Amino acid sequence: MSREEFVKIELPEKRIPRYWYNVQADMPTPLDPPLHPATKKIITPADLEPIFAKELIMQEVSAERYIEIPEEVRDFYKKYRPSPLFRARGLEKALNVSSRIYYKYEGISPVGSHKLNSALPQAYYNKKQGIKRIATETGAGQWGTALALACKFFDLEAMIYMVRVSYEQKPYRRSVMELYGGKCVPSPSTLTQSGRDALAQNPDTPGTLGIAISEAVEDAMSREDTNYSLGSVLNHVCLHQSIIGLETREQLEMVDEYPDVIIGCCGGGSNFAGIAFPFIPDKIAGKNIRLVAVEPAACPTLTKGVFAYDYGDVAGLAPIVKMYTLGHDFTPSGIHAGGLRYHGESPLVSRLYHDGLIEATSVLQNPVFEAAMTFAQTEGLVPAPESAHAIRTAVDEALKAESEGVAKCIVFNLSGHGLLDLAAYDQYLSGATQDIVFSEEALQESLKTLPQI
Ligand SMILES: Cc1ncc(COP(=O)(O)O)c(C=O)c1O
């Protein structure tokens, strides 16, 4: 197949990967161990068992390079995988660049984003263990939607704590969660002590992923039949998402391409990990490839945070992990990319960033929406505001290459569609979207609350 002949590169259903790729097997520096939030001692798998399925805990600590995808999960993957890899010919033409831009489209999943890639195995392993109900948090609502559907597929109840600002900005995400049979409440809620404490401190809080995580963990700890599930950050979530990069590699090979740069937006890090980690062995072997994580300037965890042990949540119920963090007390502004409003970062992404194997950059809201609009008008797809961060950087990379007189192969992950984010687009079109200035002062205040290890 000649590179010039196609617009989308598709793999047949039987080529859905049979194994996930575990980057832990190849990391030059192993992860620092997670710590128990109460004792601050190294956490054991047994400490995690009250809230996580055993097989997920094993995956969390596994050093196996490849982990088999259960057939039951692969059967559901068949509904939407392999996802297509598109050549962004319309975008290239509009930018007038000679670089080749590709995007892996995860918005094709029934829920509209990559999140189902991990929701399915998480629901499956919990069901296999006899769990009846899963509690979780959601930022923009994409993860909550994915978990609600996965729970329905595996006959489990889903309880979703949705960050209040997104609950109000994106009412239809709640509708979808309920349509799938999930229960969704705005966080902070009055259902948990963590929620009540957050409300007592600030009744008008927009909520944060950190608070919503505390609520979901507390919910899971208080019930025998319930486990907790996290849609990003953790090693097993990055493992499940590796299916994105594994497919992308094959698709690029089909047209004799190898990427100069791979780009993914970065909230907790899972979709970026998904597209980038399968290329890490090449990077370690000295191959000339750049892996770029893109975060919002309003919540610049990698680019402005510190590499330190911190709580994954606000109430200090979740494990303490070594990661890039803005401090668990940091309340990011209510930007439209709600899925990128997280104070911390995947420990795997953090370690690889610290070791110089990946890069990070941050972008402002208005330029992100501007790139999203160009993309919508040239490729026809309305991107999720989160994914539009990757588009912005892909566009910037292509323009930069052009100004240097070179043509590059640029690949980004279009992690989700934005058809339930139209209120955000309306605001942008009316000129009301603000480029929020990051507060160094607030960061310094929040960093004071890092746990003393
Ligand atoms: C479409 C989309 N992309 C990206 C993200 C960010 O999460 P992560 O960094 O785990 O991929 C989210 C989170 O909600 C999302 O909904």
- The answer, yes or no, to whether any atom of ligand 1 lies below 6 A from the CB of 301, is no
pLDDT at site 1:
61
Atom in ligand 1 nearest the alpha carbon of residue 140: 14
Q: In 3-state terms, what secondary structure has residue 341?
A: coil
Distance 325 CA to ligand 1 centre (A): 17
Distance 340 CA to ligand 1 centre (A): 6
Taking CA atoms, 220 is separated from 41, 155, 342, in Å, by: 22, 18, 21
Atom in ligand 1 nearest the alpha carbon of residue 269: 9
pLDDT at site 336:
87
Atom in ligand 1 nearest the alpha carbon of residue 271: 11
Helix (H) or strand (E) holding 135: strand 133-138
C-beta of residue 265 within 8 angstroms of C-beta of residue 323 = no
- Closest to 118 measured CA to CA, from 59, 188, 166, 159: 59
Q: Quote helix, strand, coil % in the chain, to nearest 5.
A: 45, 20, 40
- Closest to 148 measured CA to CA, from 172, 188, 179: 179
- Closest to 408 measured CA to CA, from 115, 188, 186, 101: 101
Q: In 3-state terms, what secondary structure has residue 412?
A: strand
Distance 265 CA to ligand 1 centre (A): 7
The mean pLDDT value of the chain amounts to 96
CB contact burial 81-118 (16+ within 10 A = b; e otherwise): bbbbbbbbebbbeebebebbbbbbbbbbbebbbbbbbb
Atom 6 of ligand 1, nearest CA residue: 267
C-beta of residue 326 within 8 angstroms of C-beta of residue 299 = yes
Distance 406 CA to ligand 1 centre (A): 31
d(CA 348, CA 323) in angstroms, rounded, equals: 8
Positive/negative CA dihedral, 168, 171, 176, 182: positive
d(CA 128, CA 112) in angstroms, rounded, equals: 26
Atom 12 of ligand 1, nearest CA residue: 339
CB atoms within 10 A of CB 206: 20
- The answer, yes or no, to whether any atom of ligand 1 lies below 6 A from the CB of 24, is no
- The answer, yes or no, to whether any atom of ligand 1 lies below 6 A from the CB of 342, is no
- The answer, yes or no, to whether any atom of ligand 1 lies below 6 A from the CB of 187, is no
Top mutation candidate among 103, 340, 353, 393 for ligand 1, by most atoms within 8 Å of CB: 340
Residues of the chain whose pLDDT is less than 70?
1
- The answer, yes or no, to whether any atom of ligand 1 lies below 6 A from the CB of 163, is no
The DSSP letter of residue 106 is G
pLDDT at site 338:
85
CATH architecture of 3-15+71-112+238-447: 3-Layer(aba) Sandwich (3.40)
For the stretch 111-150, pLDDT in tens is 999 999 999 999 999 999 999 999 999 988 999 999 999 9
- The answer, yes or no, to whether any atom of ligand 1 lies below 6 A from the CB of 319, is no
Atom in ligand 1 nearest the alpha carbon of residue 232: 10
Distance 344 CA to ligand 1 centre (A): 13
- The answer, yes or no, to whether any atom of ligand 1 lies below 6 A from the CB of 346, is no
> In terms of residues, how long is the chain?
453
d(CA 365, CA 209) in angstroms, rounded, equals: 19
In angstroms and rounded to an integer, the radius of gyration of the C-alpha atoms of the chain is 20
Q: In 3-state terms, what secondary structure has residue 277?
A: helix
Atom in ligand 1 nearest the alpha carbon of residue 340: 6
Atom 16 of ligand 1, nearest CA residue: 142
- The answer, yes or no, to whether any atom of ligand 1 lies below 6 A from the CB of 220, is no
pLDDT at site 5:
79
- The answer, yes or no, to whether any atom of ligand 1 lies below 6 A from the CB of 126, is no
- The answer, yes or no, to whether any atom of ligand 1 lies below 6 A from the CB of 384, is yes
Q: What angle do CA 279, 137, 50 make, to 5 degrees?
A: 90
Tokens of 386: 């989160």
Atom 15 of ligand 1, nearest CA residue: 339
